Structure 1
Amino acid sequence: MDLSLNVYENLVQLARLGLAGRSQDVQAYLRQIIRRLGKAEPALAQQLSELLAKAPSALSPLRDFGSAIVPVDADSRLALAKNEYPVLVPNAPILEEMLRIKIDQVVQERSHLTALEAQGLGPTRSLLFVGPPGVGKTFSARWLASLLDRPLITLDLATVMSSYLGKTGSNIRSVLEYAKSVESVLLLDEFDAIAKRRDDEGDVGELKRLVTVILQEIDDWPSTSLLIAATNHGELLDPAIWRRFDDVLEFHLPSADLRERTLRDLFGDSAQRIDAWLPILTDLWADRSFSDLTRSVQWARRRATTMGIDVVEVLLDQIGGELRLSTAETRKQAAKILSEAGYSDRRISELVGISRDTIRKGRG
């Protein structure tokens, strides 16, 4: 070995970090050594890379998940986290292309650990999901856990937050240590509740101290687990929080293309019946999230099933008010669809708010 690499100093530093129990720092230091070894000692660099790649299964095998004890609040004795394994997700989330690529990347990294370690890199350890309610943040976290075949551990915010000074920080540390002890995906939902800006004068010192705790935990988060924090209010997060995550994924309300794809999937076997209405629904429901679209479609399908009527009839009753308030172009388009379906001029006029004379002229 090339003595210029200061082997002895490296060994001392590794021993110091290991004895201090700082496994994440040990891994980071080893990556530096691998880069420095470079072409001089390729065999040794390869061995170290393989050791790092195997570290997750060696440190906390998945089979030990069942034996790990879920932390509880000392006073209430309620569990501080919920865990789920296996994570069963019926279908993949419909996402913007860049979000899908980033999530796929996280999954692929776990299959290429040796190659990453050989480059002095580790896998993604932490993600921040930001976006309005109902756009797929929690669903995507579940999907990731399912793809990685990892337990999903979710912080129970209601139990963790304590009125006793110092208890909230202690509870959160317990959950974080628990998530570190197994190969898992930890979801910190409603993250803004525990990671608010430290200049918020309305918060007590306890919540401000929480931010410091969380910053340290994110910095030290092991590659054995994946930490996902999700928030509907990114503007409330402490600025230092954003820099600590390996990646930030911004979720938006679905685009027109995604809305149409989502609606087609949600209507299932009935999709053919409402095919002509999809462009109109896509336009009328432009401000709706994925969860809003799901609720609307499921209500219409349930109504049609229980009343024994055509889903299009239910849909027309559901969107009638919106149609009458929509743009002239949308109302004309709806009138044309209804006319071709055999609806009377009177019924069309009631539904879209266009006079019967105008409807007749349009047909002519």
Structure 2
Amino acid sequence: MSEVLKILDGALKANASMAGNYAGLLADKLERSGEREDALRIRDRLARAPSAMAFAQDGSRMATAVPTDTESRLETVDVSYPQFQGNGFHLSSAAARRVQEFIGSVSNYDRFAAAGVASVNRLFLYGPPGTGKTMTARWIASELALPLATVRCDTLISSLLGQTSRNLRRVFDFAEQTPCVLLLDEFDALASARGNERDVGELQRIVIALLQNIDALPGHAIVVAATNFAQGIDPAVWRRFPFQISFAVPDASLREALWKTMLGGFCPASLHWDELVSFSEGISGAVIEQVCQDAIRTAIMAGQSEADAAEILRRLGLAISLLNGQHLPSIEDEVRWLRQWRGEAFSLRELAKLYAVSTRQISNMLRGPNAGKTASKATKRSGKPR
């Protein structure tokens, strides 16, 4: 019924693109539910329409033009078509359940509306960087078989007075006319709290425009907002999002699932999972993904069919050093850091193998940058090595 009503809205507004977009989505839904003949009849009607409507024959393609900033002429929305294969997406149990609740609410919106219990399709994701907020939005779009329209704040926010509010209006018009999941990533750039001493009138107007556009959007339109800085979001914005999910760094069980999924067929047989899960405590899924990709690339360049377990730990240790603000400009610094971080995992022989040097060279590195000079001076004084 949502698609039928939107087709009617498009017809009443003489908006052929809107009517065509939702007709294509209706055909897709009918086909997925087994009503293939009705889907073919809709697509046949669309095929007879003018060429501008031909895009709507497939609900995954858009006939509506992507909105642009009139000042820069750049698009303010990036459209993508996420697809996930197999079991390639993991969340904590609580977040996963809440995401499924949101997908269920979207999928059953018409039934809930008929019973008078429908909730607007608005989801707010917040938490530290790299914990899966953007990936979750992509997953939702994939599960709903809809394109993901990601708002580009770099082009949406304009230096011209009032232009940002107009850009927002065009973006929400696009979301109303086009079946999609609208993602407001880095949401704090648009919805920062009003009233602080550094606030200016234009920023207040942007928040007001955002609130008005969210309120004006039909309840069945899907909006996902994501931010790393939930504490800075305007209180009035929170009330517009009945579904809210807090993200945190993964726990032990989730870290194990992430490591196994991201290493995939390159998992080394000698890898001690308990050790890897323990060593990676407190890091985000994005860091785990980067470590796995680095280790796999190293294996491929070496002509190996699986990643090296020690190389995975080395990459993890170096990633943690960066997170701790520990800069390692030389190999000597890396060696000393790895021994300090997890000495039990990095023996002299293991470090020598990883860095393709002798164990004696590793020993010299571990003594410090002045070890060689100190030994030389001692030899001169005593006449023999100490």
Structure 1-normalised TM-score? 0.71
**8 Å contact 2:127–2:246 — kept in the other structure?**
yes
Following superposition, the deviation at residue 308 of structure 1 comes to 4.0
Greater shift after overlay, 103-112 or 313-322?
313-322
Question: Given residue 297 of structure 1, which amino acid in structure 2 is its aligned partner?
Answer: C
Question: Given residue 5 of structure 2, which amino acid in structure 1 is its aligned partner?
Answer: A
Given the alignment of the two structures, is residue 268 of structure 1 paired with residue 264 of structure 2, yes or no?
A: yes
Pairing 1:225-240 to 2, within 5 Å after superposition: 225-240=221-236
Residue of structure 2 aligned with 1:325, choices 298, 321, 340 = 340
Deviations 1:333-360 (A, max 9, x none): 888xx9xxxxxxx89x97xx9xxxxxxx
Deviations 1:81-126 (A, max 9, x none): 1112x33234542101121112112222344334312320225411
Residue of structure 1 aligned with 2:291, choices 290, 293, 296 = 296
**8 Å contact 1:197–1:236 — kept in the other structure?**
yes
The alignment partner of 1:133 has SS state of coil
Q: Match of 2:125?
A: 129
Q: Match of 1:35?
A: none
Structure 2-normalised TM-score? 0.67
**8 Å contact 2:102–2:243 — kept in the other structure?**
no
In the alignment, structure 1 segments of 5+ residues that lack a partner are: 1-50, 339-345, 354-364
2: CA distance between counterparts of 1:57 and 1:274? 58
**8 Å contact 1:106–1:124 — kept in the other structure?**
no
Given the alignment of the two structures, is residue 224 of structure 1 paired with residue 224 of structure 2, yes or no?
A: no
**8 Å contact 2:78–2:150 — kept in the other structure?**
yes
Q: Which runs of 4+ in 1 moved over 4 A?
A: 51-54, 56-60, 320-323, 330-335
Greater shift after overlay, 301-310 or 207-216?
301-310
Question: Given residue 137 of structure 1, which amino acid in structure 2 is its aligned partner?
Answer: K
Q: Match of 1:154?
A: 150
Following superposition, the deviation at residue 219 of structure 1 comes to 2.5
Following superposition, the deviation at residue 140 of structure 1 comes to 0.6
1: CA distance between counterparts of 2:2 and 2:103? 17
Percent identity between the two aligned chains: 32
The alignment partner of 1:70 has SS state of coil
The alignment partner of 2:149 has SS state of strand
Following superposition, the deviation at residue 324 of structure 1 comes to 3.2
1: CA distance between counterparts of 2:300 and 2:180? 41
What RMSD in Å do the two structures reach over aligned CA positions? 2.7
In the alignment, structure 2 segments of 5+ residues that lack a partner are: 10-17, 25-55, 318-334, 351-358, 367-386
Residue of structure 1 aligned with 2:312, choices 303, 306, 315 = 315
Q: Match of 1:180?
A: 176
Larger RCO, structures 1/2 (Cα 8 Å, 6+ apart): 1
Q: Match of 1:25?
A: none
Given the alignment of the two structures, is residue 96 of structure 1 paired with residue 92 of structure 2, yes or no?
A: yes
